[in-house]
Amino acid sequence: MTLVNTDSNVMETKLATFKTAKFYKIPPPEVIPDTAFSVDETNGSKGYKESQVVRYRFQPENWRLKHSNYLFKGSIELHELQSLDALESSRDLSSELKCRLTINAPGIDRWGTAYYEKVYHDGLPVTNYKQSSPFMTIQKIIHQHYVVILTEEDKKIAIGMILQDFFDDLRLTSNLKDFEERFRKLLAFKDNFVNESPKTAKEERSEGSPNKFNIDEDDEFGDFVSN
């Protein structure tokens, strides 16, 4: 990891660079409504709860069938951005700690960017086809093949990405998992700090203490909405 910027109260760290990737225009996914089941800790008699989800099914094996789908060969960078006052901020941690993927095209730096977060479809959580884990804006579909959902002003645009190097595929997967773990640990630290002595924290905040913060106890990693 390399510290690259501390401007505007944000510490920016370069996590990794991947020098060879190919990018493609891809058709929209097949959208499959479904029901997910998870453990219901509030209802011991039933034992599980149902929730409506949407599954996305992409066909990465078809991306290279048409030459017109090919965009360019470029590189990507993965950066972590953390607010310097993330521990004291009353905002959700998702606003204070982010992971950004930047695509560099030939002759064009920062051709596109994607922020690592969950995807929602008409307000419903999205999962990958035949998987239970959330569908993310940087989502591996099969080995070395990813869907990347770019942020363009107020729009979300999905493109296909194929990492040419097998070890880059392993590194990117590892980098994203490491970021998730750092997010969870920082969130747990904030939660524990508040929950250890909530009365004292409340009293100190009322006295104007700058070292306490107010967070949503239900917040979880990646609880974002992508339209």
Please answer whether residues 200 and 212 qualify as being in contact, where contact means their C-beta atoms are separated by less than 8 angstroms. no
Q: Is 122 left (phi over 0), alpha (psi -120 to 50) or beta?
A: left
Render each residue's pLDDT in the chain as its tens digit; 227 residues: 666 665 678 889 999 999 999 999 999 999 999 988 776 666 655 567 788 999 999 999 999 999 999 999 999 999 999 887 766 666 677 677 899 999 999 999 999 999 999 999 999 999 998 888 899 999 999 999 999 999 888 889 999 999 999 999 999 999 999 999 998 888 887 777 644 545 444 444 444 433 322 333 343 333 333 33
Q: What pLDDT is attached to residue 224?
A: 34
Q: Beta-carbon neighbour count of residue 217 at 10 Å?
A: 8
Query: Which architecture does CATH list for 2-197?
Result: Roll (2.30)
Reported pTM: 0.77
pLDDT value, residue 189: 79
